């Protein structure tokens, strides 16, 4: 017997506004098949995860007691009885249980539009999004709230994938030909990743041996949500590492929710290749696992969970070069923000560092669809993310002559940064002067650090059979991830620990000495926010603490 409206309640945090910047079309075909991820609560008897992570932040690397993945499953994995109730609900509505992930506390369900519409009390429609936004195309959408059976209230905490609009964009910028200072692989103002590692004084005796770095990538998808593009070509990677005379690390593509390595049909191939070549050349002794998932709310959350809870590859660092503005007008349901934030919190509990690009559209954090207000980029704005901003670097002869905040205006891009309107100021940031958010909210400030991101002084990458120069904060996330993989090799050799979430340590008194401060520039990309976030001495909301000095950061995290 199916539930009636009287038997159901609104799922907290599921409200989503009517799609902005699109034309609503007809109802989604009733027989169209889709998969949806349902997240359930942690066991009621489990200790507070937030308190556990907060306690870790008060400890140095040597004393931190992270949970193993097995311990996390035993303590915070889904309750068997809760899963059984959701499975019964799915069966009642003719939905198939495709996968149960006890550690990530999620169930993957499959069925038709008609079945899901009845099960969750939603109306699913088609909508066509205009060119000029990263959502360009036709997708299945919903607005309003999701409803769940009253007896599942508090058990189900998220339902993701009913709407398959893209939720993030890749934060990379290809250098324009007019800006090229030189041709060929060795440009006058661009750098190979190892050259940047040398300029930034990364440890030279470490390779990342014994470590795994996870890279999150989001596939393009068709109107039915099936992945259609984004990936890497092994031949490009082989040519890159051969030319740099660096051993190519093992690279594994991991599919999540139907995601796959699908190169050759997407601009996002540049993102995928950039991430692998940067992280892999910084830490060639580590293995690289690339988690592909559709660019949807369920795909993004599930990909991060797959990496964080991967008990086979056990990555110690995750790199994410995707994101978007924190919900400017209700386009993202709070359950998406909470779900992905929870995955990052779980990473912190297990000693996994998550490096996230801070965005490439300045303090506006939006392109042609800008609403005229500053925005922080998510998931970089999560208090459990290590938010990575961008600089413009000038160097020659192995020495840095100048480094400023990256801001080339609307056409050239600028580093993201700002203050969250959703996540409250974390305790570790109480030591710095974070301004109020645009809505006068006392929120999380970002970025935490910065490095070269300007495409004019960018990274030499081998893509589609040729050398190209690519920048964006997309490059800073894998660069930082590579550094932390090196550091983790040393930490594990010394005392069998990884760095984990380093935010509390880098905000501690005296820790700023591990960074080279960036004090010139701002990220006011459209020059009409009056320099909302301007570089200054110490932490600021466009360059964080500045550029990490690799050897000094290693010493800090070894304390």
Mean pLDDT, rounded, of the chain: 93
Strand blocks (E) in 230-348? 251-255, 287-294, 317-320, 322-325
- Is the predicted pLDDT of residue 457 greater than 50, yes or no? yes
Of 275, 452, 454, 517, the catalytic one is: 275
Residues whose CB is less than 8 angstroms from the CB of residue 453 and which lie 6 or more positions away in sequence, other chains included: 360, 389, 390, 391, 392, 406, 415, 471, 472, 473, 474, 475, 476
- Is the predicted pLDDT of residue 223 greater than 80, yes or no? no
176 and 118 in a common domain: no
Q: First and final CA of the chain: distance in angstroms?
A: 61
Residues whose CB is less than 8 angstroms from the CB of residue 444 and which lie 6 or more positions away in sequence, other chains included: 376, 381, 382, 383, 419, 420, 423, 424, 425, 426, 429, 434
C-alpha distance from residue 362 to each of 374, 447, 469 (Å):
8, 12, 20
Own/partner pairs, 204-208, CB within 8 angstroms, 24+ separation? 206/283, 206/285, 206/486, 206/487, 206/489, 206/490, 207/283, 207/284, 207/285, 207/286, 207/486, 207/489, 208/249, 208/282, 208/283, 208/284, 208/285, 208/286, 208/482, 208/485, 208/486, 208/488, 208/489
119 and 154 in a common domain: yes
271 is catalytic: yes
Burial readout 400-416 (b: 16 or more C-beta within 10 A, e: otherwise): eeebbbbbbeeebbbbb
263 and 148 in a common domain: no
Mean pLDDT value across residues 295-299: 95
- Is the predicted pLDDT of residue 182 greater than 60, yes or no? no
Specify the 3-state DSSP secondary structure of 80. Answer: helix
Sign of the alpha-carbon torsion through 514, 357, 210, 280: negative
Task: Classify residue 50: in a domain, yes or no.
Answer: no
Given 95, 129, 160, the domain boundary residue is: 160
Q: How far apart are CA 549 and CA 299, in angstroms?
A: 35
Q: How confident is the model at residue 529 (pLDDT cuts 50, 70, 90)?
A: low
Number of Cβ within a 10 Å radius of residue 128: 16
- Is the predicted pLDDT of residue 180 greater than 50, yes or no? no
- Is the predicted pLDDT of residue 442 greater than 50, yes or no? yes
Task: Classify residue 340: in a domain, yes or no.
Answer: yes
Task: Classify residue 447: in a domain, yes or no.
Answer: yes
R_g of the chain computed on alpha carbons? 22
Mean pLDDT value across residues 238-251: 98
Task: Classify residue 394: in a domain, yes or no.
Answer: yes
Number of Cβ within a 10 Å radius of residue 201: 16
Q: How far apart are CA 485 and CA 213, in angstroms?
A: 7
Q: How far apart are CA 348 and CA 341, in angstroms?
A: 11
Task: Classify residue 526: in a domain, yes or no.
Answer: yes
297 is catalytic: no
Q: How confident is the model at residue 434 (pLDDT cuts 50, 70, 90)?
A: very high
Task: Classify residue 449: in a domain, yes or no.
Answer: yes
Of 101, 145, 271, 277, the catalytic one is: 271
275 is catalytic: yes
> DSSP of 160-210, one letter per residue?
E-SS-----EE--EEPPGGG-SS-SSS-SS-B-HHHHHHHTT--SS---TT
User: Tell me, what's the pLDDT at 186?
Assistant: 39
Specify the 3-state DSSP secondary structure of 370. Answer: coil
Condensed to tens digits (0 to 9), the pLDDT of residues 252-274 reads: 999 999 999 999 989 999 999 99
Q: How confident is the model at residue 484 (pLDDT cuts 50, 70, 90)?
A: very high
441 and 538 in a common domain: yes
Given 160, 183, 198, the domain boundary residue is: 160
Structure-block tokens of residue 113: 């539009």
545 and 411 in a common domain: yes
Compare 24 and 6 and report the one with higher pLDDT: 24
Answering whether pTM is above 0.85, one says yes
Condensed to tens digits (0 to 9), the pLDDT of residues 367-399 reads: 777 777 899 999 999 999 999 999 999 998 999
- Is the predicted pLDDT of residue 99 greater than 90, yes or no? yes
Given 160, 194, 229, the domain boundary residue is: 160
Condensed to tens digits (0 to 9), the pLDDT of residues 162-172 reads: 999 899 999 99
329 and 198 in a common domain: yes
182 and 123 in a common domain: no
User: Tell me, what's the pLDDT at 77?
Assistant: 97
User: Tell me, what's the pLDDT at 290?
Assistant: 98
Of 106, 474, 517, 543, the catalytic one is: 474
Residue 265 and residue 205 in contact, taking contact as beta carbons nearer than 8 Å: no
Residue 538 and residue 187 in contact, taking contact as beta carbons nearer than 8 Å: no
Q: At what angle do helices 297-308 and 334-349 cross, to 10 degrees?
A: 10
> In total, how many domains does the chain have?
2
175 and 149 in a common domain: no
* Percentage of the residues of the chain whose pLDDT score is greater than 90: 83
Residue 249 and residue 278 in contact, taking contact as beta carbons nearer than 8 Å: no
Task: Classify residue 442: in a domain, yes or no.
Answer: yes
- Is the predicted pLDDT of residue 471 greater than 90, yes or no? yes
* Full domain range(s) for residue 147: 5-42+77-160
Burial readout 237-248 (b: 16 or more C-beta within 10 A, e: otherwise): bebbbeebebeb
Phi/psi for 392 (5° steps) reads: -105, 125
185 and 119 in a common domain: no
* CATH code of 515's domain: 3.40.50.200
Condensed to tens digits (0 to 9), the pLDDT of residues 21-68 reads: 788 999 999 999 999 999 999 999 999 999 999 999 988 778 899 999
183 and 117 in a common domain: no
146 and 128 in a common domain: yes
Which 8-state DSSP code applies to residue 457? G
User: Tell me, what's the pLDDT at 179?
Assistant: 45
241 and 103 in a common domain: no
Q: How far apart are CA 551 and CA 247, in angstroms?
A: 23
């Amino acid at each position: 017997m199916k539930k009636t409206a009287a038997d159901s309640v609104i799922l907290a945090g599921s409200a989503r506004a009517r799609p902005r910047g699109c034309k609503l079309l007809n109802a989604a075909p009733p027989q169209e098949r889709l998969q949806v991820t349902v997240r359930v609560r942690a066991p009621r008897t489990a200790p507070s995860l937030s308190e556990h992570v907060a306690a870790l932040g008060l400890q140095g690397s040597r004393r931190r007691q992270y949970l193993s993945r097995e311990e996390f499953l035993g303590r915070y994995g889904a309750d068997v009885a809760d899963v059984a109730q959701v499975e019964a609900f799915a069966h009642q509505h003719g939905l198939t249980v495709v996968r149960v992930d006890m550690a990530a506390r999620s169930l993957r369900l499959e069925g038709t539009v008609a079945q899901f519409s009845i099960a969750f009390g939603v109306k699913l429609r088609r909508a066509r999004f205009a060119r000029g936004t990263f959502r360009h195309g036709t997708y299945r959408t919903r607005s309003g709230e999701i409803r769940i059976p009253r007896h599942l209230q508090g058990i189900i905490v998220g339902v993701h994938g009913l709407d398959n609009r893209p939720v993030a964009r890749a934060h990379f910028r290809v250098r324009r030909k007019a800006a090229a200072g030189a041709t060929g692989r060795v440009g006058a103002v661009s750098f190979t990743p190892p050259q940047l590692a040398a300029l930034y004084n990364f440890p030279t005796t470490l390779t990342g041996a014994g470590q795994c770095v996870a890279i999150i990538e989001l596939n393009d998808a068709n109107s039915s949500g099936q992945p259609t593009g984004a990936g890497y070509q092994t031949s490009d990677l082989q040519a890159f590492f051969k030319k740099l005379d660096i051993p190519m690390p093992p690279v594994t593509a991991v599919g999540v929710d139907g995601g796959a390595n699908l190169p050759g049909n997407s601009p996002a191939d540049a993102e995928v290749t950039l991430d692998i070549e940067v992280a892999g050349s910084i830490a060639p002794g580590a293995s690289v696992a690339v988690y592909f998932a559709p660019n949807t709310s369920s795909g993004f959350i599930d990909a991060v969970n797959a990496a964080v809870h991967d008990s086979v590859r056990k990555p110690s660092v995750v790199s994410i070069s995707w994101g978007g503005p924190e919900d400017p007008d209700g386009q993202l349901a709070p359950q998406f923000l909470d779900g992905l934030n929870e995955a990052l919190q779980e990473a912190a509990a297990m000693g996994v560092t998550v490096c996230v690009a801070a965005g490439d559209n300045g303090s506006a954090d939006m392109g042609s669809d800008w609403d005229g207000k500053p925005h922080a980029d998510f998931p970089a704005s999560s208090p459990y993310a290590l938010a990575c901003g961008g600089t413009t670097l000038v160097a020659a002869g192995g020495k840095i002559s100048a480094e400023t905040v990256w801001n080339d205006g609307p056409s050239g891009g600028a580093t993201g940064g700002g203050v969250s309107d959703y996540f409250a100021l974390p305790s570790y940031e109480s030591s710095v002067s974070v301004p109020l958010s645009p809505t006068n909210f006392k929120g999380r400030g970002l970025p935490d650090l910065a490095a070269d991101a300007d495409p004019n002084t960018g990274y030499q990458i081998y893509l589609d059979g040729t050398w190209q120069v690519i920048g964006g904060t997309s490059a800073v996330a894998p660069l930082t991830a590579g550094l932390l993989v090196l550091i983790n090799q040393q930490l594990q050799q010394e005392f069998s620990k990884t760095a984990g979430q380093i935010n509390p340590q880098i905000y501690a008194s005296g820790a700023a000495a591990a960074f080279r401060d960036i004090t010139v520039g701002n990220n006011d990309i459209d020059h009409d926010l009056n320099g909302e976030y301007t570089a200054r001495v110490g932490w600021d909301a466009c360059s964080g603490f500045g550029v990490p000095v690799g050897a000094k950061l290693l010493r800090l995290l070894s304390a």
